[in-house]
Every structure is written in structure tokens, then in C-alpha cells.
Amino acid sequence: MTLKQELVRTQEMEINFGPHHPSTHGVFRAVFTLDGEYITKCVNHLGYLHRGIEKLAESRTYTQFIPYNGRLDYVSGMLNESAYVQAVEELMGIADQIPERAQYIRVIMCELQRIASHLVFWASMALDMGGFTPWTYGFRERDTVLDLFEMAAGNRMMPNYMRIGGVAADLNEEFMPALRKFLDIMPKALEEYHGILTGNEIFQARTIGVAPLSAETALDYGISGPIARASGIDYDMRRDEPYGIYDRFKFNVPVRKNGDTFDRYMVRLDEMAESVKILEQAYRDIPEGPVMAKVPKVIKPPAGEVFYRIEHSKGHFGFHIVSDGSNKPYRLRIYSPCFTNVAIFEEMAKGLHLQDAVVAFASLDIILGEIDR
């Protein structure tokens, strides 16, 4: 041993990132092994928010399970609900009997929810970098969306609006003008978001080239949604495997090449603009008519199973429902995009600076309610 080695001993340090930590977006916990401030190893620990929702579903009827969807990914309740009800409709074989108007309402709600979810991402990404002011800018528009949900569904975050066979109630008359108002303010708001964060040189320095994710790794880990599209995987279920009435809408799928934090951020902002386009078309084309198909009061799908997934704001969100012919699901499994997406963090964090790891984590945009279920 040289004198220097004898006098100066270096040691790796283990540090807990969560479950009580300002930037873990809930109760996620990762254990970092730090060399100085660089991460050499990262281990994810999940399960702090486990409520056994999959098991709960087995003791609830098919209809009674709908409100629990809002508790999965609690910033995109409408998307979860629409995935669930479409899965049950598929299982019952009534997917083609859903009234036109209900289909349009579902698209409107889903796209609004996608915008709201991405706004939470945008705002919390800014917050994770120490930009406190953008937080309210993002939540200002999100609140408008939630007001729309409140108007139509009766609740802001746990809407319980989708029903098997349609939607709970028709839109009330003040909804459409309010939606028009939102569609008018949204492009301006997006411009402001780009102005305050995207164009900011400090922001660019912190995101461009940070934590790149190659398309191969993304595929290996089963990454889907905006993160995969940022890595260059040009796949969007709304366009490539259209469900519902998504084949009627014209929109682009934003795809980027580098897969770094900046690309993951930009894909989501571009997606918001595309969602506004879809909303414009839905606003223009929505027909009058009933909002509920003829479904029996007690829903008893035939014995069998179905796996149905949709393009959620976080990725592919699916339900695997096994029915034994009774009014309760025999088994219900939730395919959660956040669960697969967070797995990449162990790989991604290696070699990152502690500061960059926080931003890379924020760019994954996970919601613990869905991971732990």
C-alpha cells in the first residue's frame, strides 16, 4: 500500500432515495451506491403503496370495480377506466354496440386526461430541477381539465364516469363551451411552457444527453409509451392498433431519436399538442344520440378470458380478465406501464450524477399507485 492509499481511504456510500424523499413522486424507494456523487449501483424497492386492488376486484362485481380504476394511476383516472370498461365490453362481445356519442365522449375524456397527466409530468419535472414557478403554470391548465371532469363526471381525480356499454351520463350543456375555451387556451399555454422551460439553457444543459436509452434496451425491458417513442420506437396503439374510434382521427405520433431526458420531455409536450388536435376533431364531429348501449343490469360475461390494452399516458395499459361466468371476475390482472418503465431506472441510474438521476427519474413519469396497485 502506498502512503496515499494508507492515509486516504475512499469508500462507497449507500444512500436511500426515498420512500421519504422530496422527488420520488410518492413512496418509491431506491438504494443508491454512491462513488462520490456518482451512482455505481441502484436497487429499486417497490410495494409501499400496495393495496391489493387486483384481489379486491375478485370480490367486486364488474360494475363495482370501475371506481377502483381511479385509484390505480391517480393522475389519469379516465384512461384507466376506459381501458377497463373496454376490456369488459370485449369480454362480453358488445364492443361494436357502443353508441357513437359515447365513443366520442370517451375519446374526449381520454385525450383530456392524457393532457392532464402530461401536465403533471411537466410541472413535476420542472419542480425536480428546482424550478418552483412552472409548477403552478402546469397545474393552472390541469385544473381547467379537472373542472371539465367535475362538470361531466362529478369528481376531479376519481371520475367514475365510464360504464360498461357507454358512459355514466351525457355531457351537460355547459361542457362543450368550456371545452372550446380550454382548446383555445391550450396552444398558448404550450407556447409558454416551451418558453419558460424548453428554451431555457440551464434546462437544456441538464437534460440533453442525460441518461440516454437505446431502442434495443427499451425493447428488452418492455418499455412502452412516450419513453419508448423518445428512443425511436415508432409505435402508438392509437394509430397502429386502433381501438375504439381512434382510426377516425388524424394525428401525428411524435417520435424522437436520442432517447435522452430531453427527448422524453419533448415527446410528451408534442403529444399534448397532438391531443389538442384530436380534441378539435372530436369537438367538431361529435354526434347527438344515446350514450349507453343496451346492457343487462347485472353484468355476467361468458366464461373466458380477455387481454385488452390501450395507449395510456404512460404506455400500454392493459387488463387481463378471466371470467368464470359469474358476476365477479375470477381473476383480474393489471398490466401496468409504470411498473415496466420503472425497471429501467436501475440500469439507467448507473454512472449518473445524483442530480441527474433525479431528473432522469422524473422523466420516467411514474405513478406509484399503479406500480404497487
Partner 1 sequence: MYGTGLLKGLSITIRHFFEKKITQQYPEERPVLPKRFRGSFNLTPEKCTACGLCVKACPNDIISIDTFRDENNKRKLSKYRMNMASCLYCGFCVEACPQGALYTTQEFENTVYFRQDLDRVLYEYEPTAQENREEGSEA
Partner 2 sequence: MDIFLVWVDIFRNWLTAGIGVPALAAEIFIKIILVLIVIVFVCCNLIVLVWLERKFSAFYAMRRGPNRLGPAGFFQFPVDIVKMLAKEDIIPKAADLPVFKTASICAFITAILAWAVIPLGKGLVLEDLNIGIFYFIAIGSTGTIAFIMAGFGSNNKYSLLGGMRTAAQMISYEIPMAFSLLGVVMLTGSLNLSDINDAQRNVWFVFPQILAFLCYFISSIAETNRAPLDLSEGEQELVAGYFLEYSGIRYSLFMVAEYAHLVAVSAIASIMFLGGWNPLFGLTFIPGFVWMMLKIYFMIFLFMWMRWTFPRVRIENLMHFGWKVLIPVSLLNIFLTSIGLYVFQAITG
Collapsed DSSP state (helix, strand, coil) of residue 42: strand
CB of 130 to partner 1, least distance (A): 13
Residue that the C-alpha cell 442525460 belongs to: 210
132 contacts which partner out of partner 1, partner 2, none, CB within 5 to 8 A by kind?
partner 2
The DSSP code for 353 is: B
- The C-alpha cell 361529435 sits at 286
CB 28 within 8 A of CB 19: yes
- Binders of partner 1 in range 192-251 (CB under 8 A): 192, 195-197, 199-204
Rg (CA), the chain: 22
The per-residue DSSP string of 58-110 comes to HTS-TTTTHHHHTTTSTT-HHHHHHHHHHHHHHHHT-GGGS-HHHHHHHHHHH
Candidates 110, 116, 145, 168; binder of partner 1 (CB under 8 A) is: 168
192 contact, one of partner 2, partner 1, none, CB 5-8 Å limit per kind: partner 1
Q: Cα 141 to chain center, whole Å?
A: 17
Distance of CA 309 to the CA centre of its chain: 13
The residues facing 41 across adjacent strands are 33
Binding partner 1 by CB under 8 A: which of 23, 64, 258, 327? 64
CA 299 from centre of chain: 28
Picked from partner 1, partner 2, none, the partner binding residue 63 (CB below 5 to 8 A depending on kind) is partner 1
φ/ψ region of 259 (left if φ > 0, alpha if ψ in -120 to 50, else beta) reads: left
Q: Which one among 36, 52, 130, 154 touches partner 1, defined by CB under 8 A?
A: 154
Single out the segment in contact with partner 2 by CB under 8 A; choices: 16-24, 170-178, 226-234, 307-315: 16-24
Cβ 208 to partner 2 shortest distance, Å: 11
Q: Does the CA dihedral 71-75-77-79 come out positive or negative? A: negative
Other Cβ atoms closer than 10 A to 156: 17
Report the residue from 19, 131, 222, 242 that binds partner 2 according to the rule CB under 8 A.
131
Residue 8 sits in the site that holds partner 2 (CB under 8 A): no
Question: Rounded to whole angstroms, how far apart are CA atoms 238 and 240?
Answer: 6
Shortest separation between residue 196's beta carbon and partner 2, angstroms: 7
Residue 126 binds which one of partner 2, partner 1, none, with CB within 5 to 8 A depending on kind?
partner 2
Of the listed pieces 1-9, 66-74, 284-292, 323-331, which binds partner 1 according to CB under 8 A?
Answer: 66-74
Q: Which residues bind partner 2 (CB under 8 A)?
A: 13, 15, 21-23, 37, 126-133, 135-137, 140, 196-197, 200, 202-203, 205-206, 353-358
Residues in touch with partner 1 (CB under 8 A) = 60, 63-68, 133, 136-137, 140, 150-155, 158, 160, 168-169, 172, 174, 192, 195-197, 199-204
